[in-house]
Amino acid sequence: MALEALLVLLVIGAIAGFLAGLIVKGYGFGVVGNIVVGIVGALLGGYLLPRLGLFAGGDVVGQIITATIGAVILLVLLGVLRRA
């Protein structure tokens, strides 16, 4: 993976983690934790959504939407596991 692609992934993941923390209140892990969850959620969303037939587009906004959906899914799953 090129350095530029890695930086773009980190920035998009950070934005997605921030947005997911705003969307899913009560399951957050703080600002830094949500950013990390956003980065992992970006990977999860990029893997999972195309396999479900959902595609938000190839531009930056579509990538942020995909990453945010992945981060929201991950935050909800982690919140459920934390409560169990």
Query: What is the spatial distance between Cα 4 and Cα 50, in angstroms, rounded to a whole number?
Result: 23
Higher pLDDT, 26 or 80: 80
pLDDT of residue 27: 62
Is the distance from CB of 66 to CB of 56 less than 8 angstroms?
A: yes
HEC sequence for 24-74: CCCCCCHHHHHHHHHHHHHHHHHHHHHHCCCCCCCCHHHHHHHHHHHHHHH
pLDDT of residue 7: 86
pLDDT in tens, 11-70: 888 888 888 888 887 666 777 787 788 888 888 888 888 888 887 667 888 888 888 999
